Amino acid sequence: MRVSIYKIKIINIFCWFTCAQLLSQNLNLHLQLTSFKSLYDKQSNAESVPSSISNSQDEECRTTKIQVKAENYIDTERNLKYLLEKTPNDFCALLALTDLYYMQYRFEEGQQILDDAVALKSNYSVRLQKARYAINKMDFTGASNIYSQIVEEDSTSLEAIYGLANISYWLNNFMDSQNYLQKLISLDSTYAPAHLLYSKIHREWQNTAKWKQSIRNAVESDSLYAEARAAFASVLRNEGYPEQAHQQAHMALEIDPYCISAYQYLGNGGSLKSHDRFPGADDADSSFIKLLTQGNDHLLHHQYNKAKSSFDAALVFYPKDVTANMGIGIIHYFKGNYEIALSKFWNILEDYPHYGLAHYGISLVLKRKKDLVNIKLNDMLTSFNNRSTPPVPNHLRDVFLDYDRLDPELQKIVLISAEPLSNYITALYISGATFQLIPFHNRLWELKHKEKTKNTRTFDLRLWDDVKGQGGFHAVGGEEWLREVKYQRWNILTHEFTHQVHGILSKKQRDQITFYFQKAKKERRTLDYYADFNEMEYLAQAVEAYIYDNKLADQKGWSGHTREILKAKDPSLYKFIENLNSSDSYRENEIRAYRQLGLNMIRNGNIPAAIETAQKGLVQYGNHPDLLGLLAQSYRLQGKYQKATQIDQQMVDLFP
C-alpha cells in the first residue's frame, strides 16, 4: 500500500530534523507513532457496513500511522524555531517549518520562511513548495510555470504532473486534467491524490458511478489520505450509510486535524446528533440562561463587546458551557482572530465531538485563513463593489424579515440575489411567505417556523439542524454563506428564493419547467448532479447560475455555474428564466398566492380567515376558479353546503 501523502509530509519534517542532527534529548519532535485503530465496531456494524469497507478491516487494523495532534504542532514549531535561533540559515529546518505552516493554513508565515530558504538555494523541494503556495493563492500561471519546468526536466515527476492536472481542473479544463491524470496513473496507479482529483472531474461530468469508484480507489491506494476519507463520507451517505459516513469524516480528522473537507461535511449536516439550544445547561438557573440569551441576541446584531461580556459572565458559572464558548469563538472569527477562534471551537469538540456548529466554525475559519492569500478575491470584490445596488422592491421587508438588521453589504447582496425574480415578491407577500437568514450561531430549528426540523434529515440524509439553507413557504439561508456572494461564490439566497417563487408560479409556468427538466434530464443536460434530482433543484440551480457573469475558481461541482454555462447547456431554460421577471402581468401568480394563503389558514383551522382571504382575492381580481374553489372548500368545511354548492355551480357556468 502506498504511504500516505500526509504521512510523507510528517516524515519529511522528521527527516529534515535528522539531517540537521535535531533528534536529541533536548529536541523531541513529539511525533506520536500509534496503532491505526479502525473506527468501525465489527460486531455491531458487520451487517450494515458495505463489503468494500469490511474487506479492508483487518488490513487497516494492522496499519500504523503517524498521528500529529493539534497540540503537538505547537511543540514541533517550538523545536524548529529553537534550532533556527541557533543556526538561522539551516536550510532543512526552514523547509520543515514552511511545510508545518502550510499544513496549518498559515500560508503567509510559511511563505516568509520559504523566502528565507530560497535565499539559500532553490532545489526540487523548494520549487514544489513555491508551486504549492501559488495554487493556494490561485496564482495558477505562476504554479503552472514551475510545474511545467519540472516536467521538462523530469517527465516522471508525479508531484509536478499532478500539479498541472490540478491547475487544469481549477481552470475548468477538465479534458486536459484528465489527460494529465491518465499519464500520472500510468506511472503510479496508487497515487491517491490523482484518483481523488479524478473523482471531482467525474462529479462535474455527472458520472456518479465513476465518482464513487475513484474515491474508493483513492482510499484503497492510501488509507491514511485524509481528504480521501472525507470524500468517502459523502459516498457512503449517498449510498444510505450516514453512520459509517460520519465515522469516515472523523477518521479523516484523526489523520489530519486540519482536514477542511471533513469539517465541511460534519458542519453542514454530516453530524449524527442533534443538540438542545443550550447543551448541558438544562439544569442551570434562569440567570445563567438569561446571560446566554442576551449574548446570542447581541451576537445577532454584531454587538461583539456586549456579547462577549454576557458570555464571559456565563462562563464564570460554567467554564465549559458550549453556547458561551461557541459565542466567544464566533466573536473572534468576526474580528479576524482566527487562531483564538480555532482554539475555542476545538475545545468544544473535545467535550461535544458531534456538535455540528463547531465543525462548521472550524471550516469557516480555515476558509478565511486561505482567503487571506487569495490574489483573486480583490478582483471579485471590486466587481461586486462596482455593481449598482438594485432598488428595494415593494414588500421586500415583509418577505425578508431580517433586512433592516443587516449591514449595508448584506442588504446589497439581498437585493442583487432577489433581483432576477423580484417581481414575484408581491405575490410572496400576499401568500404570507417569508425568508430569514440563519445567523452563524443558530441551528435551523431555532428559527421561527423551523422548530419541527430538529433531529430530522433531508432527502439526501443530512441533519437539518446544521443545514444552512431550506426552501419552501418559509425559506432560510445561511448568513455567512450569503456574505460569500461578494467574492462571486455560490448564492444560497437566490437558490432558496427560487424555490419559494417556484411555488407561486402559474400552472402553465410550472408545466413548462417540468417539460424542460424532463428533456434536459433525458439528454443529460442538467447543470449538475444536484440539479438532476428534481425540477425544483433544476430551476433553483439555473437561476443561481443566471445571476453570475463570473465565479471564483474554487466554486466547483454544484456551485460553479454562470450565465454563459447555463445558456450553452440549457438554452430553453435560460430563455425561460430571462422572461420570468418581464411578464406583462403577475395576476395569475398573485391569485395563486391568495389561494396558498387560504389553504394555509384551513390547515391551521382558521376557516373564517380562509373565507375572508378568498373574498378579498375575488374583489381584487374578479372571478377565478382558484379563488372560487377556495371559497367553496371553506364553506363546505364550515358545514355551509348550500353556499358551497352554489359556488360550485357558479364555477361550472363561468369556466365550463
pLDDT at 123: 86
For 469, the enclosing helix (H) or strand (E) is strand 469-470
* Among candidate residues 473, 469, 482, the one with its CA nearest the CA of residue 418: 482
* Among candidate residues 128, 195, 196, the one with its CA nearest the CA of residue 159: 128
Alpha-carbon gap, residue 334 to 291, rounded angstroms: 21
Percent of the chain scored above 90 by pLDDT? 79
pLDDT tens sequence across 77-101: 888 899 899 999 888 889 889 989 9
Alpha-carbon gap, residue 460 to 171, rounded angstroms: 29
SS (H, E, C) 59-124: HHHHCEEEECCHHHHHHHHHHHHHHHHHCCCCHHHHHHHHHHHHHCCCHHHHHHHHHHHHHHCCCH
* Among candidate residues 160, 209, 167, 213, the one with its CA nearest the CA of residue 187: 160
Q: What confidence category does residue 445 fall into, taking pLDDT thresholds of 50, 70 and 90?
A: very high
Among 6-10, 363-367, 579-583, 649-653, the range with the most confident prediction by mean pLDDT is 363-367
- Greatest Cα pair distance in the chain: 98
Among 3.40.605.10, 1.25.40.10, 1.10.443.10, 1.10.760.10, what is the CATH number of 5-204?
A: 1.25.40.10
**Segment among 57-61, 381-385, 513-517 with least mean pLDDT:** 57-61
Residue 434 predicted with pLDDT over 70: yes
**By the 8 A CB rule, do 493 and 482 touch?**
yes
pLDDT tens sequence across 145-187: 999 999 999 999 999 999 999 999 999 999 999 999 999 999 9
Residue 605, classed as helix, strand or coil, is coil
**By the 8 A CB rule, do 202 and 210 touch?**
yes
pLDDT at 282: 58
**By the 8 A CB rule, do 551 and 560 touch?**
yes
**By the 8 A CB rule, do 323 and 317 touch?**
no
Q: What is the CA radius of gyration of the chain?
A: 28
Give the architecture-level CATH label for domain 587-654: Alpha Horseshoe (1.25)
Q: Distance between the two ends of the chain, CA-based, in angstroms? A: 74
Residue 528 predicted with pLDDT over 80: yes
Domain 396-580 -> CATH class: alpha beta
Alpha-carbon gap, residue 93 to 29, rounded angstroms: 12
Section 589-618 average pLDDT: 96
Q: Tell me how crowded residue 512 is: count the other CB atoms within 10 A of its CB.
A: 15
Q: Tell me how crowded residue 587 is: count the other CB atoms within 10 A of its CB.
A: 15
Where are the chain's structural domains? 5-204, 286-351, 396-580, 587-654
pLDDT tens sequence across 206-221: 999 999 999 999 999 9
Q: Is the pTM above the cut of 0.85?
A: yes
**Segment among 76-90, 588-602, 623-637 with least mean pLDDT:** 76-90
pLDDT at 280: 64
Give the architecture-level CATH label for domain 286-351: Alpha Horseshoe (1.25)
Give me the count of residues in the chain. 656
Section 635-652 average pLDDT: 95
**By the 8 A CB rule, do 219 and 207 touch?**
no
Distances in whole angstroms, Cα of residue 90 to Cα of each of 47, 76, 111, 127, 301: 54, 16, 16, 17, 50
pLDDT tens sequence across 18-73: 444 333 333 333 333 233 223 323 323 333 344 444 334 333 323 222 333 444 77
- Which residues, 6 or more positions from 478, have their beta carbon under 8 angstroms from its beta carbon? 437, 438, 468, 469, 492
Alpha-carbon gap, residue 356 to 590, rounded angstroms: 39
- Intrachain domains 286-351 and 396-580 with the same fold: no
pLDDT at 92: 87
pLDDT at 10: 47
